[in-house]
Amino acid sequence: MKPLPEPTFDFVIFDSIVIGAFVGIALVLAHALQLDKPYWVPVSCLAVIQGSSLRAVWSKQLQRIIGTVLPDWGTVTLFLNDAFDPDAAQLAALEQRGVKVERTRMARIAGKADVILRDGRSYPMAGLFVVSQTLGSPLAEQLGCVLEEGPMGMYVRTDERKASTVAGVFCCGDAARIAGSVAFAVADGAMAGVAAHQSLVFGAVAAAA
């Protein structure tokens, strides 16, 4: 993992003011658009702006965040399945958001989305939200690209041009993000395409390893 930058004036004061201003603008816009849950707009804005510096927090809190955010879309049961052990504060937050916590391990999924537990009980669910592993192909590693570890698994380290640590190799989408979405994948793909073209014309520069 990259070391944290030195706490300079730019990093500590100026960045904080800029981030605060844009998060404030996001909240004002969300209210102006009369969105149902305007607070998610500045939260999402902050997540996008902060990018890499939120990695450590995401890694620790991902399970709880998923569990506490999902109730905005319906009734939620969080199946811990021995993958995560929430502390008292996390359990209180989940309870406060109306999330049912199930500790018994799953035996299998049946039917459309029926969760069958090892003790024989079953939960017929409308849908299942699963935290999956991102990097499905060994190609980048075989090429020698440096990988990073995030809460969703390994992903390829890239710079702002989506250049990997191997000159001439670019990577975009879920494979090169701590957590992805279609919008991010499309934007990253456009950036990687432009940068790959430029590298063919002006020469390839790798991201810092």
Interface contacts to ligand FAD, rule CB under 6 A? 132, 136-137, 139, 173-175, 180-183, 185
Q: Which residue has the tokens 């359990």?
A: 91
Which residue's CB is nearer to ligand FAD, number 34 or number 137?
137
Q: What single-letter DSSP state applies at residue 111?
A: T
Q: Is 147 exposed, middle or buried (0-12, 13-18, 19+ CB in 10 A)?
A: middle
* Beta carbon of residue 183, minimum distance to ligand FAD (angstroms, whole number): 6
Most distant pair of Cα atoms in the chain: their distance: 63
Could you tell me the CA-to-CA distances from 58 to 88, 113, 114, 202 in Å, in that order? 19, 27, 29, 37
| Cα 185 to Cα 190: distance, rounded to the nearest angstrom | 9
* Beta carbon of residue 82, minimum distance to ligand FAD (angstroms, whole number): 22
Which residue's CB is nearer to ligand FAD, number 150 or number 173?
173
Which residue's CB is nearer to ligand FAD, number 70 or number 91?
70
Tokens matching residue 203: 């020469």
Angle of helix 88-96 versus helix 55-69 axis, rounded to 10: 40
Query: In the complex, which residue's CB is closest to ligand FAD?
Result: 173
Tokens matching residue 109: 């999924």
Which residue's CB is nearer to ligand FAD, number 94 or number 172?
172
* Beta carbon of residue 130, minimum distance to ligand FAD (angstroms, whole number): 7
* Beta carbon of residue 148, minimum distance to ligand FAD (angstroms, whole number): 16
Which residue's CB is nearer to ligand FAD, number 89 or number 183?
183
Which residue's CB is nearer to ligand FAD, number 89 or number 132?
132
Angle of helix 15-32 versus helix 40-50 axis, rounded to 10: 150
* Beta carbon of residue 129, minimum distance to ligand FAD (angstroms, whole number): 7
Which residues are CB-neighbours of 152 under 8 A, at least 6 positions away? 62, 131, 132, 133, 134, 178, 179
* Beta carbon of residue 61, minimum distance to ligand FAD (angstroms, whole number): 20
